[in-house]
Structure 1
Amino acid sequence: MFTILPIKGFIDSIDGFYCDGIHAGLKPKGNKDLGFIYSDTLCDVKAVFTLNKFQAAPLKHYQNYEKDFQTNFVLVNSKNANALTGQKGIDDINEIFSSLNHEITNPIMSSTGVIGNPLPKQKIIDGANSFDLSSKNGENLSQAIMTTDAFPKTCLYEVKLEDGSSFKIGAVAKGAGMINPNLATMLCFICTDAAIPTEDMQELLDVNIHTTFNAISVDGDTSTNDTVLLLANKKSNSYDKEAFKEVLRLVMHDMAMLMVADGEGAKKAVAFEVINAASNEEAEIAAKALSNSLLVKTALFGEDPNFGRIASTIGASRVFCDDSKLVISYNDVVVFNKGEIVFTKEVEAAAGKVLQNDKFKVICDLGVGEGTFTAYGCDLGYRYVEINADYRT
């Protein structure tokens, strides 16, 4: 048995972890743009990266390390993705780390921002050399890694085991646009003092990513820099695999849902729940088609319960379906029922009221099997165009 408790604080509340964020000159107006995570003992580290074929230099730099390497330092910059920068992008990272006056081992770099520009190396070097590695300021770090995010994204949990021992786990993340269920356009740094065996880390990351970060969509675009890092310094000497699996799922789900809620200009976070599909795989295809559909997203923005867009998107996904078995609901309001149009003025009004909420479900019962999957998305409105039309400026 175990107990999982959400607690107040940031990743620096976990024993042995330190962090901070500063303004190094990458962003205008004094906004924070450079941060770090430091552990006073070496951490085991595992990662999941974007499936975009043009992976950014920080991802390639990480993958140049030997398998099962340990680290004690992560450097994160915003405003510049260091992507499509070739070998120079990797060389720049090595030059930055070789110029730092901190005692660091196998340092990791993570970047987010505009693609196709070389790193402003000297600004990053000067900023990183000003870090106080004894700082504990998770709020500053959460702000330093933001790009188009409207708000910081953090969480922290404590897990109490039956033997009286306990461990903590928390995360800090960024993500609001270029979010597609192919990991998602995001950075997420998960820190724990759990004594998790190295071989469990990748397994549990991979298990949980499928229904969290790989199940969300803001705009259907996948970036070059998507990264999830799991860092474990094991200082608690406490661990239980089932407990860790569940709390890791909660951490990743929390961060994923905050990204959907913060979808650039979004007002609504929506769960697309497909049930009774021919298989789990087909349910996933249909659910992700719904979360990615621009027509569905704009209908949600207009608070229009247009079930035709829902049905059309499912059919276009090419999964096995039959309109004589299909049931579509907004929360508990059924708008299409097994070939019968039940969309009266009263039903439309009730469904429209559901869409006025900032969170709700679109439930699609295909009625052809037992497959299920839930994808998560948001509406898409004018603000998304404004943000991305002016992104580089």
Structure 2
Amino acid sequence: MFTILPIKGFIDQIDGFYCDGISAGLKPSGDNDLGFIYVSEPCDVQAVFTENKFQAAPLKHFLQYEENFKTNFVLINSKNANAMTGKKGIEDIDTIFSQLDFDLINPIMSSTGVIGNPLPIEKIVNGAKSFDLSSKSGENLSKAIMTTDAYSKTCMYEVKLEDGSSFKIGAVAKGAGMINPNLATMLCFICTDANIPVSDMKEALKVNSETTFNAISVDGDTSTNDTVMLLANKKSNSYEKQAFFEALRLVMHDMAMLMVADGEGAKKAVAFEVINALTKEDAQIAAKALSNSLLVKTALFGEDPNFGRIASTIGASKITCNEETLVISYNNIIVYNKGELCFDANTEAKASEVLKDDKFKVICDIGLGDKSFTAYGCDLGYKYVEINADYRT
């Protein structure tokens, strides 16, 4: 038995973790744009990265280290992705670390922002030299990694085990656009003092990615820098596999849902539940098709319960389906029932009321099996075009 309790605060509450964020002049606004996570003793680190074939330089730099390496430092910048920058992009990371006076062990860099520009090395080095590695300011860090985010994204949990021991786990993340299943234009840094084996770290990230970060979509695009990183310093000497896996799932789910809700210009966070599909693959394909569909997203933006767009998207996904077994609902309002049109004026009015909420479900019962999957998405409106039309400026 175990208990998982949400607690207020940031990752700096975890013993042995330090962090901060500053303005290094990367953002013209003068807002925080450079941050770090420092660990008092080298810790285990595992990560999952984007499936985009053009991985950014920071990801390639990470992968140059030996398997199961330890680190004590993560440097994070916004405004510049250091992607599509060739070998020089990797060399620039080594140049930055070589100019810092800290005692760094296998330092890691993570970047987010505009693709195709070289890193402003001098600004980053000068900014990083001002870091106080004893700082505990998770709030500053959360702001430093933001790009088009409307708000920072953090969470913290304490896990109490039956033997009386406990451990903490928390995260800081960014992400609002260029988000699609197979991760997103997102960075997520998860810290824990759990005494977790490296093999379990790998498994936990893989298992929980499927139903969290790999189940969200804002706009159907997959970035070059997507990273979910787990750092474990084991200082609590406390661990139980089932408890940790569940706590990590909660952390990753929290961060994923905050990203969907913050989709650039989004007003609605929507769960697309596909149930009773013939296979698990069918359920995933249909749910993700719905979360990615521009026609569905714009209907949600217009608060139009157009079930035709839902049905059309399921059919176009090419899963095994039949209109005679399909049931479509907005929350508990059935609008299509196994070939029967339920969309009279009264039902449409009730469904429209559901779509006025900022969170709701679109439930699609395929009626051919017992497999299910839930994907998460948001609406798409004018603000998204406005933000991305001039993103580089």
Is the structural similarity TM-score above 0.5?
yes
Give 2:380's aligned residue: 380
Matched, 1:389 2:389: yes
Per-residue CA deviation, residues 30-89 of structure 1 (Å, 9 max, x unaligned), is 110000000101110000000000000000000000001000000000000000000000
Give 1:46's aligned residue: 46
Query: Taking structure 2 as the reference length, what is the TM-score of the superposition?
Result: 1.00
CA distance in 1, matches of 2:227, 2:305: 35
Give 2:69's aligned residue: 69
Pairs within 5 Å for 1:249-260: 249-260=249-260
CA distance in 2, matches of 1:387, 1:3: 42
CA distance in 2, matches of 1:277, 1:29: 49
SS at match of 2:147: coil
Give 1:152's aligned residue: 152
Give 1:329's aligned residue: 329
State the 1:28 CA deviation: 1.1
Per-residue CA deviation, residues 352-392 of structure 1 (Å, 9 max, x unaligned), is 00000000000000101111000000000000000000100
Give 2:285's aligned residue: 285
Q: In the alignment, residue 273 of structure 2 is paired with which amino acid?
A: E
Give 2:224's aligned residue: 224
Per-residue CA deviation, residues 107-159 of structure 1 (Å, 9 max, x unaligned), is 00000000000000010000001000000000000000000000000000000
Give 2:183's aligned residue: 183
SS at match of 1:149: coil
SS at match of 1:45: strand
Give 2:233's aligned residue: 233
SS at match of 2:334: strand
Give 2:202's aligned residue: 202
Pairs within 5 Å for 1:95-106: 95-106=95-106
CA distance in 2, matches of 1:239, 1:93: 35
Percent identity between matched residues is 78
Query: Taking structure 1 as the reference length, what is the TM-score of the superposition?
Result: 1.00
CA distance in 2, matches of 1:319, 1:368: 11
CA distance in 2, matches of 1:193, 1:80: 31
Q: In the alignment, residue 274 of structure 1 is paired with which amino acid?
A: V
CA distance in 2, matches of 1:326, 1:160: 44
Matched, 1:55 2:55: yes
Specify every segment of 5 or more residues in structure 2 that has no aligned partner in the other structure, as ranges. none
State the 1:29 CA deviation: 2.4
Give 1:193's aligned residue: 193
SS at match of 1:76: strand
Give 2:300's aligned residue: 300
CA distance in 1, matches of 2:107, 2:264: 31
Specify every segment of 5 or more residues in structure 1 that has no aligned partner in the other structure, as ranges. none
SS at match of 1:106: coil
Q: In the alignment, residue 85 of structure 1 is paired with which amino acid?
A: T
CA distance in 1, matches of 2:199, 2:392: 41
CA distance in 2, matches of 1:328, 1:262: 26
CA distance in 1, matches of 2:179, 2:369: 30
Per-residue CA deviation, residues 299-320 of structure 1 (Å, 9 max, x unaligned), is 0000000000000000000000
CA distance in 1, matches of 2:175, 2:240: 30
State the 1:182 CA deviation: 1.0
CA distance in 2, matches of 1:185, 1:354: 29
Give 1:82's aligned residue: 82
Per-residue CA deviation, residues 192-236 of structure 1 (Å, 9 max, x unaligned), is 000001111001100000000000000000000000000000000
CA distance in 1, matches of 2:68, 2:338: 53
SS at match of 2:392: coil
Moved >2 Å (runs of 4+): none
CA distance in 1, matches of 2:146, 2:83: 17
Matched, 1:266 2:266: yes
CA distance in 1, matches of 2:41, 2:86: 33
In the alignment of these two chains, the number of paired residues is: 393
